[in-house]
C-alpha cells in the first residue's frame, strides 16, 4: 500500500523509473514463468473460436446454460454425470461473454493458463525453482491440457483445482517451509472445490488425505472437515445422477482400448475416439519415451531428496489412474475409466518428469530430455491447432453446406454428431425416436461421414432417389440424395438405424418435416 501511494504522488518520468526498478527487482525465474504463462495463453486463446462445438459442449451451451441459474443447476442433475461447480461458474461467466465458442470456452482457457504458474509452484515446493520452471514449460505445451483448455466442459477447471490441492498438500506435508494449519485449510478448500467440479477428484484427494493423516495426525481434521462438508452436500446429487446411468456408454469400449488411449492422449491430446479417428500410437512414442527416460534418470542419478520429491508426485498420479482402473476391474457397473476423467494425474506426472529433467547430477542429459519433450509437445500442439484432421469436426461448415431445407429432409450421421449438427443448423431440426410409430415423409436424405465413405446400400432409400452431390466440409463429407419422382417418400427409419454406413452407430435428424 505504501508503494502504491508513493507511485500516486510521483511524476510521469519518476513513475517510469519506479516501474523499471520493480521490473528489475523481480528474479529471472519470475519472468521466465511469466513468459511461459503468456505463451500458454497465446496457445489457448489464439484458436479458441476456430473449432466448432463438439457433442458435450453443445450440451453445456444449449441444455444447461441458456435459461435461469436455478434451471441450469436442475439440468445438471438430470442431464450430466458431473457436479455443478463448473456449470455454476459458466452460467455466471456467460452472462457477460455469451454462449458462443469464444465466450464459453474462455473460462476453460483461463483455468488452463492459471495452471501453468501453479505447476511452477508445485515443482519449486517439491524440489527447486529449476524443477518448477520445467514443470511450467511442460504444462504450458502439453497437447492434452491445451485441448481441454479449449473445451466448454469442466476438465480444465478440474486440473487447476486438483493442482492447487496438490500444492497445498505438499506444503501441509512439510516438504517445504510453510506447512501449517493455513495450508491444511487451503488444501481442504481446494480439494472440496475439485470434488464439486468432477467426481474423479476423489482419487487424488483421498490419497492426499490418507497421507496427511499419517503425517500430521489430528492437525488434518480441519481440512478433512471441509472436504467432508463438500462430500455430504454432493451425496444427493450423486444418487440422482447415478439413477440416470449417463456414463454407462463408457464400458461399450474395451478397458484395454481405453487404457492404451489414456497413455496416448496424455502425450498427444484427443486424437482418437473423441474426434472419430482411429487412435495412432506411433506419434506418442517419442514423448512417451522421453518422459520414461526422465523418470528413469531420477531413479538412476537422483539423490534421496530428488527421488522423494518425484515419488510424491508419481504416487498421486499413479493412484489417480490405478484406483479407477481397479474399480473398473473389480466392481461391476462402476467402470468409468476414461482418459479425460484421469486428467488430475497429468500435472503430477509432468512435475515428476520435470524433476528428472533438472537433476543436478545429470544436468546436461536432463536438459536435453526436457527441451526435446517441450519442443515436441509444443510442435504437436501447434500442428493440432492448425490441422483440421486433428481438430473437432467442423459441424458449422457442414451446416453451411447443407443450408436451409428446400424439401422435408433427413440427415444421417454418427451418434455424437447429432447434437452439434442440430446446433449449427439452428432451424428447428429434431431427432426422431427410432421406433416411434410415425411415418416420416422426405424429399431429401443427406449422409454426413467422417472422411470418404461408401454409398449407402441399395434399397435403403427406396425408389425415386438419386445422388445429387458429394461435398467435402473439412474432414467431413456430405453425400446428398434428392427425390426425382413426384411427391415425397416415407423414410425407412429402422433400416437407416441398422444400416452399415461405417459409423459406430447411426443417428438421424429431420428438418422441415412433420409426421405423415
Q: For 135-148, what is the HEC assignment?
A: HHHHHHHCHHHHHH
What tens digit of pLDDT does each residue of 187-213 get? 999 999 999 999 999 999 999 999 999
- Band the pLDDT of 8: cuts 50, 70, 90: very low
* Range 467-479 average pLDDT: 91
> Considering only CA atoms, which of 214, 228, 212, 224 is closest in space to residue 185?
224
> So what's the pLDDT on residue 416?
82
- Specify the pairing of strand 465-473 against strand 441-442: unpaired
Residues 386, 400 within the same domain: no
Residues 382, 401 within the same domain: no
- 81 close to 241: Cβ distance less than 8 angstroms: yes
> So what's the pLDDT on residue 12?
53
Q: Locate cell 435403403: which residue?
A: 460
Cell of 87: 456449470
> Considering only CA atoms, which of 193, 111, 192 is closest in space to residue 153?
111
> So what's the pLDDT on residue 378?
97
What tens digit of pLDDT does each residue of 231-282 get? 999 999 999 999 888 888 888 888 998 898 999 999 999 887 777 666 777 8
Residues 476, 507 within the same domain: yes
* Range 380-397 average pLDDT: 91
Which range has the worst mean pLDDT, 22-26, 63-67, 110-114, 226-230?
A: 22-26
Task: Give the list of residues 6+ apart from residue 43 with CB closer than 8 angstroms, or none.
Answer: 140, 141, 146, 381, 382, 385
Please, how many CA atoms are within 13 Å of residue 211, restricted to the half-sphere of its CB? 23
Provide the percentage of residues in the chain whose pLDDT is more than 70.
92
- 471 close to 453: Cβ distance less than 8 angstroms: no
- 362 close to 294: Cβ distance less than 8 angstroms: no
Residues 160, 294 within the same domain: yes
Residues 420, 345 within the same domain: no
Provide the percentage of residues in the chain whose pLDDT is more than 90.
67
Residue 516 in any domain: the answer is no
> So what's the pLDDT on residue 458?
82
> So what's the pLDDT on residue 23?
61
Instruction: Please name the residue ranges forming H helices in 358-444.
Output: 363-386, 395-402, 418-425
The number of beta carbons lying within 10 Å of the beta carbon of residue 307 is 15
The count of domains in the chain is: 2
* Range 281-307 average pLDDT: 93
> So what's the pLDDT on residue 20?
58
Contacts for 366-371: CB closer than 8 Å, 24+ residues apart: 366/294, 366/297, 369/290, 369/293, 369/294, 369/297, 370/134, 370/137, 370/138, 370/294
> So what's the pLDDT on residue 4?
39
> So what's the pLDDT on residue 418?
86
Residues 307, 328 within the same domain: yes
Say whether pLDDT at 500 is over 50: yes
Which range in 6-15, 436-445, 466-475 is most confidently predicted, on average pLDDT? 466-475
What tens digit of pLDDT does each residue of 394-414 get? 999 999 999 999 899 999 998
- 425 close to 506: Cβ distance less than 8 angstroms: no
> So what's the pLDDT on residue 244?
86
Mean pLDDT of the chain: 89
Domain end marker among 390, 413, 430: 390
* Range 61-65 average pLDDT: 93
- 411 close to 448: Cβ distance less than 8 angstroms: yes
Distance CA 231, CA 39 (A): 36
Adjacent-strand bridge partners of 476: 450, 473
Say whether pLDDT at 5 is over 60: no
Q: Locate cell 528474479: which residue?
A: 27
**Alpha carbon separation from 153 to 177, 350, 398 (Å, rounded):** 35, 22, 23
Domain end marker among 390, 418, 437: 390
Say whether pLDDT at 6 is over 50: no
Asked whether the CA dihedral 455, 456, 459, 461 is positive or negative, the reply is negative
Residues 136, 83 within the same domain: yes
Cell of 191: 480439494
What tens digit of pLDDT does each residue of 117-154 get? 999 999 999 999 999 999 999 999 999 999 999 999 99
Asked whether the CA dihedral 281, 286, 289, 294 is positive or negative, the reply is negative
Domain end marker among 359, 390, 421: 390
- Specify the pairing of strand 444-450 against strand 409-414: parallel
Which range has the worst mean pLDDT, 13-27, 276-290, 380-394?
A: 13-27
User: Domain span at residue 440?
Assistant: 395-511
Length of the chain counted residue by residue: 516
The C-alpha torsion from 168 through 170 and 172 to 177, rounded to 10°, is -110
> So what's the pLDDT on residue 7?
34
Residues 404, 325 within the same domain: no
> So what's the pLDDT on residue 1?
39
Residues 313, 438 within the same domain: no
Residues 498, 383 within the same domain: no
- Maximum alpha-carbon separation in the chain: 85
What tens digit of pLDDT does each residue of 154-164 get? 999 999 999 99
> Considering only CA atoms, which of 162, 139, 145 is closest in space to residue 208?
162
- Band the pLDDT of 515: cuts 50, 70, 90: low
Say whether pLDDT at 9 is over 50: no
Which range has the worst mean pLDDT, 69-73, 80-84, 381-385, 511-515?
A: 511-515
- Chain centroid to CA 19: 38
What tens digit of pLDDT does each residue of 160-182 get? 999 999 999 999 988 545 457 89
Residues 267, 368 within the same domain: yes
Residues 142, 259 within the same domain: yes
pTM, two decimal places:
0.92
Distance CA 386, CA 377 (A): 14
Q: At what angle do helices 101-126 and 129-141 cross, to 10 degrees?
A: 160
- 344 close to 200: Cβ distance less than 8 angstroms: yes
Cell of 113: 493458463
Amino acid at each position: 500500500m505504501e508503494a502504491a501511494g508513493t507511485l500516486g504522488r510521483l511524476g510521469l518520468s519518476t513513475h517510469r523509473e519506479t516501474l523499471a526498478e520493480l521490473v528489475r527487482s523481480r528474479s529471472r525465474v519470475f519472468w521466465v514463468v511469466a513468459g511461459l504463462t503468456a505463451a500458454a495463453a497465446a496457445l489457448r486463446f489464439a484458436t479458441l473460436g476456430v473449432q466448432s462445438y463438439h457433442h458435450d459442449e453443445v450440451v453445456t451451451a444449449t441444455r444447461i446454460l441458456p435459461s435461469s441459474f436455478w434451471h441450469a443447476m436442475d439440468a445438471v442433475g438430470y442431464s450430466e454425470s458431473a457436479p455443478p461447480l463448473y456449470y455454476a461458474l459458466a452460467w455466471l461467466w456467460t452472462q457477460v461473454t455469451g454462449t458462443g465458442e469464444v465466450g464459453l470456452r474462455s473460462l476453460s482457457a483461463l483455468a488452463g493458463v492459471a495452471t501453468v504458474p501453479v505447476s511452477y509452484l508445485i515443482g519449486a515446493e517439491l524440489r527447486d525453482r529449476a524443477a518448477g520452471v520445467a514443470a511450467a514449460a511442460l504444462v504450458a505445451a502439453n497437447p492434452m491440457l491445451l485441448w481441454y483448455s479449449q473445451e466448454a466442459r469442466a476438465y480444465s477447471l478440474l486440473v487447476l483445482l486438483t493442482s492447487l490441492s496438490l500444492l497445498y498438500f505438499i506444503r501441509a506435508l512439510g516438504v517445504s517451509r510453510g506447512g501449517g494449519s493455513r495450508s491444511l485449510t487451503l488444501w481442504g478448500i481446494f480439494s472440496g472445490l475439485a470434488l464439486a467440479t468432477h467426481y474423479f477428484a476423489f482419487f487424488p484427494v483421498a490419497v492426499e488425505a490418507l497421507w496427511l493423516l499419517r503425517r500430521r495426525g489430528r492437525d488434518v481434521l480441519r481440512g478433512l472437515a471441509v472436504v467432508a462438508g463438500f462430500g455430504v452436500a454432493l451425496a444427493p446429487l450423486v444418487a440422482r445422477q447415478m439413477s440416470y446411468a449417463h456414463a454407462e456408454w463408457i464400458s461399450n469400449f474395451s478397458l484395454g482400448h481405453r487404457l492404451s488411449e489414456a497413455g496416448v492422449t496424455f502425450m498427444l491430446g484427443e486424437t482418437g475416439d473423441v474426434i472419430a479417428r482411429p487412435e495412432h500410437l506411433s506419434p506418442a512414442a517419442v514423448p512417451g519415451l522421453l518422459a520414461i527416460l526422465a523418470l528413469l534418470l531420477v531413479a538412476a542419478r537422483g539423490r534421496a531428496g530428488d527421488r522423494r520429491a518425484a515419488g510424491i508426485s508419481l504416487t498421486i498420479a499413479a493412484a489417480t489412474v490405478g484406483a479407477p482402473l481397479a474399480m473398473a476391474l473389480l466392481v461391476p457397473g462402476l467402470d468409468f475409466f476414461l482418459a479425460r476423467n484421469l486428467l488430475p494425474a497429468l500435472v503430477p506426472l509432468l512435475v515428476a518428469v520435470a524433476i528428472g529433467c533438472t537433476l543436478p547430477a545429470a544436468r546436461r542429459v536432463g536438459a536435453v530430455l526436457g527441451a526435446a519433450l517441450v519442443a515436441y509437445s509444443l510442435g504437436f500442439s501447434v500442428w493440432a491447432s492448425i490441422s483440421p484432421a486433428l481438430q473437432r469436426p467442423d459441424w458449422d461448415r457442414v451446416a453451411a453446406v447443407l443450408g436451409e431445407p428446400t424439401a422435408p429432409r433427413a440427415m444421417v450421421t454418427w451418434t455424437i454428431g447429432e447434437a452439434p449438427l442440430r446446433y449449427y443448423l439452428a432451424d428447428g431440426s429434431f431427432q426422431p425416436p427410432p421406433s416411434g410409430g410415425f411415418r416420416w415423409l422426405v424429399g431429401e436424405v443427406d449422409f454426413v461421414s467422417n472422411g470418404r465413405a461408401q454409398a449407402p446400400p441399395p434399397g435403403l432409400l427406396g425408389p425415386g432417389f438419386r445422388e445429387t452431390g458429394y461435398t467435402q466440409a473439412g474432414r467431413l463429407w456430405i453425400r446428398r440424395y434428392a427425390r426425382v419422382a413426384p411427391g415425397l417418400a416415407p423414410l425407412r427409419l429402422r433400416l437407416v438405424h441398422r444400416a452399415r454406413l461405417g459409423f459406430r452407430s447411426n443417428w438421424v435428424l429431420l428438418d422441415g418435416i412433420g409426421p405423415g
